[in-house]
Structure 1
Amino acid sequence: MTETLYTATSEYVEEIKALPVKRQVSVSGILKKLDVSRSGYHAWKKRVPSDTSVRRAVLKEKIQKIYEDSHQNYGAPKITAELRKFGERVSEKTVGNYMRQMGIKAQWVKPYIQTTIDSDFSQELKNILNEEFNPTQPDAVWCSDITYIWTFEGFVYLTSVMDLYSRKIISWVLSETLEASHVVECIEKAKQVRNVK
């Protein structure tokens, strides 16, 4: 609190010194108004910053640089990891506290998700199911779907084949892309499981 008061006093005094002569106010008058002793003010001006405050200032500069270099995407965990790469010994909690003091936080960017699109199907393909979703025997109707799953390493895609008679998943394949080959692989696995040609 006292340090903040002295900082405010010092800035105020510097502003006053910059005023034209006829508008200047004495330093003693300002110190009196702010209830700060003259000796205390001069002692504060001569005081050398502590090692802790110097380290804090250096760390904050590094945090700001890493934050800007990441296009404001990094939060405390990633900034802490970056600092540790350069030999800084600092906790994630400390980095988080400094970021709060500096008024910065990670910007969440919605990740790009590749999705399937309508294809230009051949005229040879016909709708033979006709919305009859309750077949009377196993392996009469299969359906397939692809969904994406978020992991810490990025998105993976789950392709599955279901028998509509039992509503049971008979095969599935995990992949990192939406290539048609993964769908073919999933169908081939289903054919092997059910011994269907």
Structure 2
Amino acid sequence: MAESKRQRRVFPDAFKLEAVAAVRGGRPVSVVAAELGLPDRLVRGWLRWAEGRTAAGSGAPAPTPTQEQAAPARRVGPSPADQAAEIGRLRRELDRVRMERDILGKSRAHLRPGDGPEVSYGFIREHVAEFPIQIMCEVLGVSRSGYYEWASRPESARAVGDRAVAAEIRTAHADSRGRYGSPRVHAVLRGHGRRVGRKRVARLMRGMGLSARRKRRFRRTTDSAHAYPVAPNLLARDFTASAPDRVWLADLTYIWTAEGWLYLAVVLDLFSRRVVGWAMADHLGHELALAALDMAIARQRPAPGLTHHSDRGVQFAAREYRKRLKQHGMLCSMSRKGDCWDNAPMESFYATLKGELVEQRDYLTRDEARADIFQFLEGWYNRRRLHSALGYITPEQKIAAFQAAASAA
């Protein structure tokens, strides 16, 4: 079957440039490559490719330093040894303050007014790998001798089991960057072979003060007051698809930064919930939506007959956008006016993006937001995030399962 053949992965220039920007921002090549599921050599090749583009685009010589800049500065004040000693002392004090702050912050979820010292002892034992025992005892106001006496007592089998499960919970929650609540953490543990009940996971997470990042409501604007043709709603809220690249959903949103708005366009495959195309810009013109569509087409190379669903926004109704859909044999579908539920999976995706990422950040620049969103889409959402709509598997796992079933047929 043609659907069972694995397609060669295509990486548009926008994808490559964001990966290069992540490396140039100080992240190791190996880390960026691992997040994107790529070999190191491919990312290094993109670095050379980007350097070639930069060199070809600028032939200006490097500025020559002035005489004042080239002259060495005369030494004044304390000697280098004294400065190094003072810096070391300040760093140690700062590390101590930060450690005490972290201990207090983490202990708030465990300790309540009126709790006995045993509760503090339990917190200390759970965090001995993170903080020195002496400092934890001082911050929490308990004695070291009391802790050691308590710790020497034998634990019950239930407590030993809870401690082991709690360690796995903490790892799963940290790997999700705090985005997972108990249902997804439970799915992760079950996927690793841990036989544990969902209620037990929820109880232990409450005890450790762990929870999913809360999603906040946000507003979107759709300019449907235009004279372009409007397509009928072919999807009719049937949010199912029999295979990848049969139904695509498209939408736009915006992210605030200190430099101003950054606009994001996304194309989502309904079957796998995978982001197949995206684009970011400082404007909301139709070129933004078209760039996301072009990325999706280049990466997926869909067969004619795909249904493309969006709202009635001017970006999707524009002549150039409709022309691109027609060129590739796509059927245009649009939501009813003012009815966001006609594109509910897309709304759910943006709620996830906002709740798990954007609302947790204060972006100073658009470039900072772009890098963060790129990592979320390609390094986390597509490859690692467990989706409840998919039975708590990732989009990549959904596609792999489909390909395996098609090959076996």
- The TM-score normalised by the length of structure 1 is 0.43
Q: Which has the larger radius of gyration?
A: 1
Higher relative contact order (CA 8 A, sep 6+): 2
- The TM-score normalised by the length of structure 2 is 0.23
Higher helix share: 2
